[in-house]
Structure 1
Amino acid sequence: MPENTAAADFAALLRELKDRSGLSYGVLAKRLHMSTSTLHRYCNGDAVPADYAPVERLARLCKAHPEELVELHRRWVLADAVRGRKGAAAAETSPEEAGSGTGPGQAASGAAPPAEAASAGAPPAAPADADTGADPAPTRRRTRTAVLAGIAVAAVAVGVALAVGLPGGGSDGDGDGDGGRHRPVGAAGVTAEGTAPASSSPPSSAASPSSPAKDKSPARTPAGSAPAGAPSGEGQKSGVPVTVRAEPYAWESPCSQRYLADKPASEMKPPPLEEGAAAWVAAHGAVSSGQQYLRLTVQGTGPETVVVDGLTVRVAGKRAPLAWNDYAMAYPGVGCGGGVQTRAFAVSLDSARPSLTPEPGNEDFPFKVSESDPEVYYLTASVSAYDVDWYLELKWSSGDRSGTLTVDDEGRPFRTSGNKGRPAYEFPIGGDGWVPEGTTKLE
């Protein structure tokens, strides 16, 4: 989809919501904690927000209907994807190349400098004093070193090209070096499987009870399919025609989310805005308390239709609920919006076999997606009696192909703990610290 069309469609819906609300740009910008000029640029199509959280807050302030929230997210995904492709194309040409009018790897004079010639596998030109009678030994040594370096670089380049071009680097004959099980294919903690049956084994990196930090090991480096918003060709290299973007720290409303943390109230920072929730959780080693609201954006990597056959909840571990303090993200006295979204599902992690059920009035799987028609699913996972590690398996099919994507929190399971009987705290507006919940006097 052309960039101007995607951005214009997104901006048109933003303007429609803004105009219908009757609120001015200044009032909305103040409530969204952004400048009026930034909001103008979003609504005029001059810029696309890099993060969806402020867009959703704007829509809720304008009292958007659930169907409009889904459509707004879909248009933002498309506009963000086009912007990502534009940025990637611009990065292929360096400023020096753009200014000189030469192609990559060429000097302004049209001849490649010695270092670049070496990287291409060719020896550099002889130095200017080659015929002056000076000792040529240093020159030969430099030339030989450059040639060897060029050969090494060329060999690495060939190896990388072969690794990218082949379906997989394994020797087990299935085109996948790890047997097709839990191979990373997305930056949002998504792994892919081929047509093999679904496995109930947990992701390779399990969260420890005291450290919910993200797994940054090289083994989880994304490869194969790209997250939603990336160029479609990247996703098609692995043969997986669908991608998933997981947002495990989304909030259903400003009042809905709570976190458990093994720290006293005196050491806790004030509640964040939704877009800062992930950083706040990481800084405090916090865990979702009572329930976790998960937003999944599912998008095809090409024009073909992909059927999302279902989402299965897999439990990786259950323990007694955490004996930590419970911190509410809402400020006392602040009104809360919310409401049931389209494509909304619920699951009780207390169940022996947790499974997703559609919220009242919502349809169940299967659904269809493509590159130009993504879907957004909203999952509410509740728990009271356990501390649960869990993840999702998304089953897809397209023509004669099918497979499973494992969706988790960047290589680790999602984690949600019950909070019954835990000390609860809130942060008063204008206050300077957390206080026991229910003790704030509202004026």
Structure 2
Amino acid sequence: MNDFLSHDLLADILTRAKKFGADAADAILLQGISQSVSQRLGNTEAIERSEDCKLALRVFIGCQEAAVSTTDFKKSVLNNMIERAIAMAKVAPKNSYAGLADSAQIANKWPYIEMFDKTELSVDNLIERAKSTEEAARAVHGITNSEGAQAQFTVSEITMAATNGFAGAYKQSSYSLGVAVIAAGTDQKMERDYDYSTKVFDEDLDKPADVGRRAGERAVRRLNPRPVKTCLVPVVMEPRVSCSMLNYLASAISGLAIARGTSFLKNSMNKQLFSEEIRIMDEPHRPRGFRSKPFDAEGLATSSRAMIDKGRLTSWILDLTTARQLGLNSTANAVRSSNGNIEPNVSNFYMTPGKVSPKQLINEVRQGLFVTDLMGTSVNLITGDYSQAAIGYWIDNGEITYPVSEITIGGHLEKMFTSIVPANDLTFQYGTDCPTILIDGLVVAGKGR
């Protein structure tokens, strides 16, 4: 479906929604193509391609709203969908904070953001990438089995329109490859680990040989883990797990949690949550960012924002509804699920790098834990209590030594935020990104005391 047909379809849907009784409405058309290949033990296991097109409609009758979606674009189906949405809205609970943006609030121009690579990879290319990634992982001495490798590319287009006059569209792309392998030690006990690379532009993707080698080395390094006694020590988290701290922060400062009073940070606006060197950004215009977007799901212009500046909390994460509840302005952080519902969430969310290297951070730790993976969760965002099963390595006199297992790390998120020291190794890999960090004074619960 081309751009003109997309806009024409949405305009027609909105016209019909008004004709059928809606006071206001907005709609989004999500179109995507995804191609992936899975490879295991030298054989191609699966070749998958999906071409999706989904329409989501949200209607308002006064302050009552309803959302519906469909993948069937026959006129009779669309008419039934509109009628169903209006019928649902009539019996929905009233919400005085619900509604579209005023016409003066909507974006009518936005910057160009580099976030779409038109490169479409062939099946043969994807097979070769997955094959090379797995071969590099299996070539690492000690690797005995593979859970498989995958290579994928995805392109998508988002088109939006609303009865308040907003209309806009943008395209996104992503390319990825990854592998998970198993190593066996002399006692035949096995350990598993993985590595992957995901980028918005294909040319930025890590080489298959590098991804595979890292996965293999990580799995072998985890062999023969030892238990540790319960203790209170500094914990260093590598980037693929340190970003979880930002995920918890984002959830705790979400307008939904703040408006409901269900966050341990509900009274923390302008409070010093981190050390003064910490800055945490929400940057929707970052070139080649995983969550870059020129406007949010309610048609508001997006902009970069320091959510934490010099350690202080400066803003909640807001859409229109939560902003109205709190008597504030939206931060243009509305995101829309495929069924049309809207809630606030971050875009490219990251902690700016510190001044010291990861090695320097670790060298400062006499006895502590270097965490490389987290499993499960028991994090209470109402109280801030934190507990997670972890995998990693013991730090002894500033050096990473032996692998450890069967441990849990615990603390309180607010105290953990205060003690974070970031390293200088920030890379953009996940959408929510954080450098290696040191957190002082966590309980590492192991076997014995």
Same fold (TM over 0.5): no
TM-score relative to the length of structure 2: 0.24
More strand by share: 2
TM-score relative to the length of structure 1: 0.24
More helix by share: 1
